[in-house]
Amino acid sequence: YPLDKMNNTQAEKILDSMVAFIMQHGQEEVARIEKSKGDEFTIQKNQYIEEEKKKITENFKNELANQEVKLKIERSKEQNMQRIARMRKVNEYIEELKKEMRAQVRQKMADDEEAYKELLKNLLIQGLIKLMEAQIFIRCREADVGFIEEIKDEAVSQYREMIVSQVKRFEGKSAEDIPCNIIIDSRYLESIEDNEVSGSLGGFKIFAKKGRIVCSQTIEDRIDLCFMAAIPAIRYMLFPSMRREKKQSASE
């Protein structure tokens, strides 16, 4: 309508429609802004929830890993304690067997002096071969001095023959060319008759180079060597389960 021809009623209608349009546009804009805020809040809320979920999951995984480590440590401790207890039991059995063997050897030596002297001779020959020294000192039990005196000359003779026949640098020499002087020490080994715990069953120790070289040929040392070599077999005989465990661990 031309402004000069528009009456009040028409002007009010136009004004009302313009106001209504502005109000509607404003409401739509407000709704759009509110919706945008709601969407942004929802996005932020979901992001926060996801982050917290990740944190909780990560914490749970870490705690689970820590518990697994603790469980493995406890299991390892328990297994080690079982092994230690079993090893102690094995050692106890072995010590009992050693005591029994010492008693049997002691009785055998008392019953058969000739066999004991033969053993002393062989131990002396072996000791001489190990050291190959021109002069040695023998320390034995006082009760064995007589036996050593009886067998030392024959032991030296056999030692010399073996050296000449088996050692290359002595080829062509006579047995008498091999120096070997044996001196029985004035100090004696403590006998088992005097000390059941640390006393010697028999045999002797050989010293050379002013005591700097020592070769032990005592009966108890021989028994210990035998047991050291036989310990695995003894363990399996006493505890068959150890063999199964070893096979299982090897297969794993």
CATH architecture of 97-233: 2-Layer Sandwich (3.30)
Write the pLDDT tens digit of every residue in 105-159.
889 988 999 999 999 999 999 999 999 999 999 999 999 999 999 999 999 999 9
Number of neighbouring beta carbons within 10 Å of residue 160: 20
Alpha carbon 155 to chain centroid, angstroms: 43
Q: What is the per-residue DSSP string for 51-106?
A: HHHHHHHHHHHHHHHHHHHHHHHHHHHHHHHHHHHHHHHHHHHHHHHHHHHHHHHH
How far apart are alpha carbons 175 and 135 in whole angstroms? 16
Could you state, in order of their start, the residue ranges of all structural domains in the chain? 97-233
- Please name the residue that has the structure tokens 């008498």: 176
Judged on CB neighbours under 10 Å (0-12, 13-18, 19+), 185 is middle
**Its pTM surpasses 0.95:** no
Low-confidence ranges of the chain (pLDDT < 70): 1-8, 10-11, 37-39, 41, 45, 241-252
Residue 161: the pLDDT is 92
